[in-house]
Amino acid sequence: MKKAKLLQTPSITFAGGIARAVRLLAMVIAVVTLTLVVLTPLGLREQVSLSGMLFLVALVVTRSRHRLSTLMLMVMAITVSARYLAWRISATMSVESLDLMLSAAMLFAELYAFLILVLGYFQISRPIVRKPLALPADLRDWPAVDVFIPTYNESLEVVRATILAAQTLDWPQDKLHIFVLDDGNREDFQHFANDVGVGYFSRRDNRGAKAGNINAALARTNAPFVAVFDCDHIPTRSFLQLTMGWLVEDDRLAMVQTPHHFYSPDPLERNLRIFKTCPNEGELFYGLIQPGNDLWNAVFFCGSCAVIRRAALVDVGGIAEETVTEDAHTALRMHRRGWRTAFLGVRQAGGLATESLSGHIRQRVRWARGMVQILRVDNPLFGPGLTWPQRLCYLNGLLYFLSGLPRLIFLTAPLGFLLLNAHIFAAEPVMVLAYALPHLTFTLMATSRIQGSFRRSFWGELYETVLSAYIVLPTILALINPRLGRFNVTAKGGLITTSYFDWRIALPFLVLFGLNLTGIAAGLWAASTGRQQLDSVLINVGWATYNLIILSVAIAAAFERQQRRRHARIVLRLPAMVERSYGNTVACELSDLSLSGASLGHAGNEIERGEELHLTLRLGEESLPMPARVVSTKAGILRLELATLSPERERFLVRALFCRADNWIRWADERRLDQPVRSFLDISLCGLRGLIQLVVNSTTSNSTISRRYT
Amino acid sequence: MKFIAFVSAKGGTGRTTLAANLGVILARAGHRVLALDCDPQNALGTHLGIPPGLRLGIAEGSSPDEIIEYLTAQRGEVPCIPFGTRDRDDLQQAESTLLADSGWLMRRVLDVVPSGTELVLVDTPAGERVWTEHVLEMANVIVGVHLPDAACFATLPVMAAMLERQCRGRELKPAVWHVLNQMEPRSKLARDTEFLMRRHLGERLVPCPVPRDPVVGEAWAQQLPVALHSPTTGAVAALRELSEHLLTPLVDLQRHTAKVCR
Ligand SMILES: Nc1ncnc2c1ncn2[C@@H]1O[C@H](COP(=O)(O)OP(=O)(O)OP(=O)(O)O)[C@@H](O)[C@H]1O
Ligand SMILES: [Mg+2]
């Protein structure tokens, strides 16, 4: 397995020492040149022509899709940004106290952003597209696997499908043991587990939350591998066959992580109506960052949809219980002990996204707090066992969650000038433009290029904006005292029964929006009365306007749109058959399916509303009829409501819905590459729609603040 | 030219129905098809618009010219050579001819089949009969038709032995498929039988059973092919899928079934 080895040793070894020397020399020359380029101060003319030239080069470079040209763009972007920062520090810091304070705050935010940018580029400089590795031909060499499904307070309705799906995993039945780890100690769970024939564990206390739950189960089981699925992550039948190959092959490999895929829209996707058309927040992480981490052997454990080697877990004392992001922390410990981890970018499980924006934010606040806790209690920069790339990858992963304060600074910075008349940049406005515009342009260009189809330009800013106000305090508190805070469970499977505007969650966005709007008005007023220079005003007004756009999208995201369906519908094109009560059959094409209903295209038009019939689906070689009632027959589409299912039928349906190996593979296939301009228009439109909605909503005043879950 | 023979160990499984209706579907898909009845019951023609009681047929007693002339006069979508009504003595005579001369049927068929015919769908009597044996000898594709019940499952070994004997020593082995007809998905017994048959026959059992549907009988009563009588039924959809499956070259087929099974 030569290829396997290659993948796992990140450093490319060169044959002779000569090659190494040449490489070193080239690097020294490059670094010296770049330092000179970064540090040399230039006048307006020279700065403009230098940036212009670089821009032309960049335009040529981006035409090639080669990896090298991506790397070149990265280096150029870093250089231009560093140049900006050098100028910013050396030539624009004011001495007056208010100015200096604001300027320093802004500089802090800029330096943070730059650090994250550089670390990010490093992290994903060469994403690995890992392929599944074949398992041994002899089934006897396949190891036993324990499947853990931890649950705390989710309803059985959410968890059933996961349990049933786990049972259909393609793995020798005598080597597959499924356990429901019920920290909620619920009778209905125990009954269900007994009925379908899976193991059931519960505990008297909930010490250590999810980590403690898993650790307790580890003590009661013994298979050499443990697959963990959050209770709403439904595995496909091929999950183990695709992931286990690497683990069997390499006995120092501690874990294989696969993407978390959500088949229901998250609140941003639903409320902004971008489901499936625009990559969601997680896609960058699973599409790019984890494959990037894979090169450096720094793939994080994400708590679910992963297989872990028991020996590695035992080696680090089980799942880490000290922080609320036990997953990343556990991976960090494994890396410290010299274990390897891998990422397989094939969606092999589907889950439910959080159902409301507030829930979504709560979940991320937990992540943020946990990651900052790790920064404090087990800082990856220090301590034994890690390679430098690993330290940097972890650092980026952790620092990312400190983005709250810098983001708030960016969102309020133009107000310093517009409202308080403070000068953040003690420089001529044209010089500011001459340095800042290239910096912004190059960052945009390179980032857009790198993120490709996994993230649209400006959406990252939106995601940060939505979180910013909410993670500032928890992260700062966690920085001060990492022991504060408990683990909270993210609510899933709920239903938003009426559309409403969540004023409470939108409040910070509304305040920031109001401030920026006031700032713009004040600035324009000051310019028209001649109290302020027009060019400075325009720069700041432009900036504030950009803030308004992003904030209006955040506001739009707080309009919770109604969810009508109990179960997420999954688009599934399969031939199907309907059998009417007299035995007549009708050929149909299934167009979507859920655990409670189906829509079918059909040509036979004699079927009537309210009719009772049987829907027969064929899954590979098996078929099963399911009793159903016709709810509507409009436009040649037959909508069926499935009757309560027997366990056999439910399992069959779960398999049809979630367990096919290719279930989620083609989910994001039609994604186009990012186009910054188009993306800007899209996001502006989203924001505009949000504002219109806001106006309409506050005039009709039928908004409700109540939040109802079923 | 390819011969597709429909056989079963037990009677009433649907050989005649499948042969006739697949014929119509294949003809509509653009193939040049001929239906040939080698079952003394002489029922195939009734599915394809031939009046019952006609003496003319493939069995000894009609001259090749008569048959050719009759074929050219037919207006249906699928030209059909009936077996011909024969009395007991004629049948015995015909069978002893077959027994004595193993090439008789082949020669006779080649004499009368119009040139340019791509597919000849051949109906046979149930069980091991002289006619069946001779048809199997010419067949390129053999389709075993079964019902999802215990009785049919019990005859699988008999059927396997019969096919095995037929294929032995032949240079060009015929492709053998098995079809489940009159499937009733709602019956647990039927589903269990399907499961067992699949375990037994593996990929040889085509993935799409033909459901039991009263329209099949109704269509026949009206002397119409089902595909015309009620084209939107599940039974017709299954027949269509089946027709495609029977014609897929072997290699593609294995890939296809592998995909479906995943
Ligand atoms: N898919 C089906 N759904 C409903 N009825 C069917 C179906 N297939 C066949 N039948 C009915 O079953 C009966 C037997 O069919 P058919 O005559 O084709 O079988 P066979 O195998 O040729 O019988 P035999 O042994 O008598 O020649 C007929 O009445 C036919 O209409
Ligand atoms: Mg018959």
pLDDT of residue A606: 82
Condensed to tens digits (0 to 9), the pLDDT of residues B21-64 reads 999 999 999 999 999 999 999 999 999 988 888 899 999 888 99
- Residue A482 contacts residue A329 (beta carbons within 8 Å): no
Of all residues in chain A, the one with the smallest CA distance to B193 is A622
Q: Indicate the SS3 state at residue A174.
A: helix
List A327, A378, A502, A682, catalytic entry: A327
Distance, CA of B67 to CA of B60 (rounded, Å): 11
Residue A176, strand partner residues? A145
pLDDT of residue A174: 95
The one-letter code for the residue type at A587 is: A
- Residue A298 contacts residue A128 (beta carbons within 8 Å): no
B236 touches chain A (CB under 8 A): yes
What number of H helices and E strands is found in chain A? 23, 17
Identify the residue among A586, A588, A621 best suited for mutation to test binding to B, counting B beta carbons within 10 A and taking the highest.
Answer: A621
B91 touches chain A (CB under 8 A): no
Q: Cα of B29 to ligand 2 centre, how many Å?
A: 24
Condensed to tens digits (0 to 9), the pLDDT of residues A593-642 reads 998 899 998 876 688 899 999 999 988 778 889 999 999 988 889 999 99
Reading the block at residue A16, the tokens are 């002779």
Q: Does A6 have pLDDT greater than 60? A: no
**In total, how many domains does chain B have?**
1
Distance, CA of A413 to CA of A543 (rounded, Å): 9
pLDDT of residue A206: 86
A575/B191 CB distance under 8 A? no
CATH number of the domain residue B72 falls in: 3.40.50.300
B237/A587 CB distance under 8 A? yes
Contacts of A214 (CB under 8 A, 6+ apart): A148, A150, A181, A226, A228, A318, A319
Q: Among A670, A672, A667, A669, which Cα is nearest to A570's?
A: A667
Distance, CA of A17 to CA of A23 (rounded, Å): 10
- Residue A496 contacts residue A355 (beta carbons within 8 Å): yes
Q: Which CATH class is domain A139-353?
A: alpha beta
> How is A269-337 classified by DSSP, letter by letter?
HHHTT-TTTS--HHHHIIIIIHHHHHHTT-PPP-SSSEEEEHHHHHHTTSS--SSS-HHHHHHHHHHHT
**C-beta of B222 in contact with ligand 1 (< 6 A):** no
Tell me the residues of chain B between 185 and 224 that have a Cβ less than 8 Å away from chain A: 185-186, 191, 194-195, 198, 207-209, 211-215
Condensed to tens digits (0 to 9), the pLDDT of residues B57-98 reads 999 888 999 999 999 888 888 999 999 999 999 999 999 999
Distance, CA of B57 to CA of B131 (rounded, Å): 14
Confidence tier at A566 by pLDDT (50, 70, 90): low
Q: Among A222, A371, A585, which Cα is nearest to B233's?
A: A585
Distance, CA of B212 to CA of A370 (rounded, Å): 60
Reading the block at residue A41, the tokens are 């101060």
Nearest to A661 among B231, B260, B262 (CB): B262
Confidence tier at A706 by pLDDT (50, 70, 90): very low
- Residue A372 contacts residue A398 (beta carbons within 8 Å): yes
Ligand 1 atom with least separation from CA of B145? 21
Condensed to tens digits (0 to 9), the pLDDT of residues A330-360 reads 999 999 999 999 999 999 999 989 889 999 9
Residue A257, strand partner residues? A306, A343
Reading the block at residue A369, the tokens are 């707090």
- Residue A89 contacts residue A103 (beta carbons within 8 Å): no
**C-beta of B13 in contact with ligand 1 (< 6 A):** yes
Tell me the residues of chain A between 635 and 664 that have a Cβ less than 8 Å away from chain B: 660-662
Q: Does B248 have pLDDT greater than 90? A: no
Distance, CA of B163 to CA of B102 (rounded, Å): 17
Which position has the token pair 């009681």? B53
**What average pLDDT is seen over chain A?**
90
Which position has the token pair 């059985």? A156
Dihedral pair phi/psi, residue A637, rounded to 5°: -110, 125
- Buried-state track A396-408, b at ≥16 Cβ within 10 A, e below 16: bbbbbbbbbbbbb
Reading the block at residue A259, the tokens are 């993407």
B186/A579 CB distance under 8 A? yes
Confidence tier at A564 by pLDDT (50, 70, 90): low
Largest CA distance in chain A: 90
Dihedral pair phi/psi, residue A347, rounded to 5°: -65, 115
- Residue A50 contacts residue A42 (beta carbons within 8 Å): yes
Best residue among B7, B83, B210, B216 to mutate for probing ligand 1's pocket (most ligand atoms within 8 Å of CB) is B216
Contacts of A81 (CB under 8 A, 6+ apart): A114, A117, A439, A442, A443
Confidence tier at A523 by pLDDT (50, 70, 90): very high
pLDDT of residue B255: 43
DSSP state of A562: P
More confident residue, A483 or B254: A483
A601 touches chain B (CB under 8 A): no
Distance, CA of A465 to CA of A362 (rounded, Å): 14
Q: HEC profile for A41-82?
A: CCCHHHHHHHHHHHHHHHHHHHHCCCHHHHHHHHHHHHHHHH
Confidence tier at B249 by pLDDT (50, 70, 90): low
Which position has the token pair 């009954």? A191
Q: Is A378 an annotated catalytic residue?
A: no
A638: number of Cβ within 10 Å: 28
Length of chain A: 710
Q: Which chain A residues contact residue B237 at CB under 8 A?
A: 575, 577, 587
**What percent of chain A stands above pLDDT 70?**
94
**C-beta of B246 in contact with ligand 1 (< 6 A):** no
Task: List the domain range (segments joined by +) for residue B184.
Answer: 2-261
List A99, A183, A232, A502, catalytic entry: A183
DSSP state of A646: P
pLDDT of residue A599: 94
Q: Is A327 an annotated catalytic residue?
A: yes
**What percent of chain A stands above pLDDT 90?**
70
Q: Among A116, A63, A70, which Cα is nearest to A450's?
A: A70
Which position has the token pair 């070259």? B249
pLDDT of residue A488: 56
Distance, CA of A31 to CA of B158 (rounded, Å): 82
A585/B211 CB distance under 8 A? yes
The one-letter code for the residue type at A351 is: G
The ranges assigned to domains in chain A are: 40-123+405-474+492-560, 139-353, 570-658
Q: Among A547, A632, A648, which Cα is nearest to A597's?
A: A632
A573: number of Cβ within 10 Å: 11
Q: Which chain A residues contact residue B191 at CB under 8 A?
A: 623-624
Dihedral sign for Cα B122, B127, B128, B131, please. Answer: negative
* Lowest-pLDDT range of A564-578, B132-146, B178-192: A564-578
pLDDT of residue A16: 67
The one-letter code for the residue type at A187 is: E
B212-219 average pLDDT score: 94
- Residue A570 contacts residue A592 (beta carbons within 8 Å): yes
Condensed to tens digits (0 to 9), the pLDDT of residues A383-403 reads 999 999 999 999 999 999 999
Confidence tier at A562 by pLDDT (50, 70, 90): confident
A298-317 average pLDDT score: 97
Among the four given CATH numbers 3.30.950.10, 1.10.287.1400, 3.20.20.10, 2.40.10.220, the one describing domain A570-658:
2.40.10.220
B233/A603 CB distance under 8 A? no
Distances (CA, A) of A563 to A273, A709, B225: 12, 11, 47
Predicted ipTM? 0.84
Q: Does B114 have pLDDT greater than 50? A: yes
Q: Indicate the SS3 state at residue A199.
A: strand
